[in-house]
């Protein structure tokens, strides 16, 4: 074995070997520190009730009550108290069990892992906490705490090679995340301002959870990896139901969806739009993420006019001071690359309900209204872009 080892190392670049070798000799351990460490270990050992290690696994009753004694001789020198089955003592221990045992059990349950006998107690304690909570915000915070506990349990399971318990813990984690989002929606319907704060916290937390789980992936066997990856994905999906806000330039405008900063965003009847829009404009988007991961816009507001040649990119105005060479209309008709219909012809032919909805918003310049002059504010002499919104089926 050793020769094999040496052969491996001989293949190392000698300069690298030299470097690594620097760490080989270690200064001797401080004997006092070593003794102190050992004493600390022994002290901790003493606080553990190792009289019947079966207790946590097999039953709640302490071993001495079920008359099972396990190598008690080994403990003779370590244990502080010795148990004897005298009547009075039994009485006392019964009382302790009845009144103190329950809380001791509950206390012990707190560190239980999936698969432990006490774990269901931990679960029911968590459910009790939820039931006692009076507000969705409180419940949301509890669900976040419980989700985190599931992650810690998974980490412990990994360390102990108890991989078979992980999928169930991952499922529980997902359940917590789902319930969490339900609470967030609840808060959103009552108190939008608090909901915004809560959403931010939740997004933070879920992001952390997803990254934590990703780091654990390399330590688990393949089937568990698959399970955990699915959990991570679901966390991203479910968790992102919170509102997403971002700014970006409009790449494309379509009747049912726009493309902003490369991201397809669905527009629907409830979408609130502020300002007039042209490709290249920078807008602020508030969107929610659907279950399948797609985004639906709740609100779009123009922030900057498009920064094309001749444009100067200052906020919302309609053509004032623009020295650009093209106005929307000209750009549209001159542009050979134009694949979209002319706005004036569009309104009649386009029967899409979406488009109709868009014109309901007074701020929204439907192309049928013939107000193309408003498009002048964003001159588009440039490459192939038109200056109006021209919904066409091709956009989708």
Partner 1 sequence: MQTLPLNSGSLRLDKNELVEIYDQYSPRLYRYALRLLGDPDLAEECVAETFSRFLQAVKRGGGPTSNLQAYLYRVAHNWIIDSYRNKPALEQLHPELADDKLENPLVQITEDMQRERVRNALFHLTPEQRQVIMLRFYEDWPHEDIAKLIGKTAQATRALQHRALEALRRLLVEQED
State which of positions 342-381 bind partner 1 (CB under 8 A). Answer: none
Greatest Cα pair distance, the chain, in angstroms, is 105
Q: How far apart are CA 283 and CA 250, in angstroms?
A: 7
- Of 111 and 373, the one with the shorter C-beta distance to partner 1 is 111
β-bridge pairing 257-260 and 263-266: antiparallel
Of 48, 98, 131, 320, the one binding partner 1 (CB under 8 A) is 48
SS3 assignment, position 283: strand
Q: How far apart are CA 170 and CA 149, in angstroms?
A: 11
Which secondary structure element, helix H or strand E, spans residue 199, and what is its range? Answer: helix 192-216
Among all chains, which residue has been given the structure tokens 């349950």? 109
User: Per rule CB under 8 A, is residue 125 in the interface with partner 1?
Assistant: no
**HSE-CB for 319 with a 13 A CA cutoff:** 12
SS3 letters for 72-105?
A: HHHHCCCCCCCCCCCHHHHHHHHHHHHHHHHHHH
**Least distance (Å) between residue 203 CB and partner 1:** 23
Candidate segments 60-68, 154-162, 181-189, 257-265, binder of partner 1 by CB under 8 A: 154-162
**Least distance (Å) between residue 19 CB and partner 1:** 4
State which of positions 55-94 bind partner 1 (CB under 8 A). Answer: 55-57, 70-71, 74-75, 78
Tell me if 381 sits within 8 A of 324, measured CB to CB: yes
**Least distance (Å) between residue 215 CB and partner 1:** 9
Of 3, 7, 31, 44, the one binding partner 1 (CB under 8 A) is 44
- Of 26 and 134, the one with the shorter C-beta distance to partner 1 is 26
User: Per rule CB under 8 A, is residue 161 in the interface with partner 1?
Assistant: yes
Binding site for partner 1 (CB under 8 A): 1-2, 4-5, 8-9, 12-13, 15-16, 19-20, 22-24, 26-27, 29-30, 33-34, 37-38, 40-42, 44-45, 48-50, 53-57, 70-71, 74-75, 78, 111-113, 115-117, 156, 159-162, 218-221
């Amino acid at each position: 074995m050793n020769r094999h080892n040496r052969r491996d190392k001989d293949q190392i670049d000698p300069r690298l070997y030299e470097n690594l070798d620097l760490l080989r000799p270690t200064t001797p351990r401080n004997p006092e520190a070593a003794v102190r460490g050992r004493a600390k270990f022994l002290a901790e050992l003493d606080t553990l009730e190792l009289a019947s290690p079966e207790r946590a696994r097999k039953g709640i009753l302490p071993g001495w009550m079920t008359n099972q004694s396990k190598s008690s001789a080994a403990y003779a020198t370590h244990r502080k108290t010795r148990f004897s089955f005298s009547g009075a003592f039994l009485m006392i221990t019964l009382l302790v069990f009845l009144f103190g045992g329950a809380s001791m059990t509950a206390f012990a349950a707190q560190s239980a892992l999936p698969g432990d006998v006490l774990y269901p107690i931990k679960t029911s304690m968590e459910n009790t906490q939820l039931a006692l909570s009076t507000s969705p915000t409180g419940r949301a915070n509890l669900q976040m705490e419980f989700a985190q506990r599931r992650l810690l349990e998974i980490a412990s399971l990994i360390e102990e090679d108890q991989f078979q318990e992980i999928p169930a813990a991952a499922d529980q984690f997902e359940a917590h995340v789902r319930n969490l989002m339900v609470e967030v929606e609840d808060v959103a319907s009552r108190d939008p301002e608090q909901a915004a704060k809560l959403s931010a916290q939740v997004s933070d937390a879920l992001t952390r959870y997803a990254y934590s789980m990703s780091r654990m992936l390399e330590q688990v066997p393949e089937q568990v990896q698959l399970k955990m990856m699915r959990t991570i994905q679901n966390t991203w999906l479910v968790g992102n139901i919170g509102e997403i806000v971002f700014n970006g330039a409009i790449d494309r405008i379509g009747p049912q969806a726009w493309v902003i900063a490369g991201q397809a965003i669905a527009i629907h009847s409830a979408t609130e739009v502020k300002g007039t829009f042209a490709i290249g404009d920078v807008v602020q988007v508030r969107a929610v993420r659907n279950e399948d991961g797609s985004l639906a816009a709740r609100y779009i507001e123009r922030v900057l006019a498009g920064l094309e040649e001749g444009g100067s990119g200052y906020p919302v105005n309609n053509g004032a001071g623009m020295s650009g060479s093209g106005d929307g209309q000209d750009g549209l008709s001159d542009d050979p690359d134009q694949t979209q219909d002319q706005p004036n012809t569009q309104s009649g032919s386009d029967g899409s309900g979406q488009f109709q909805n868009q014109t309901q918003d007074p701020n929204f310049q439907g192309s049928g209204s013939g107000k193309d002059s408003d498009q002048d504010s964003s001159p588009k002499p440039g490459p192939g872009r038109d200056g109006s919104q021209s919904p066409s089926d091709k956009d989708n």
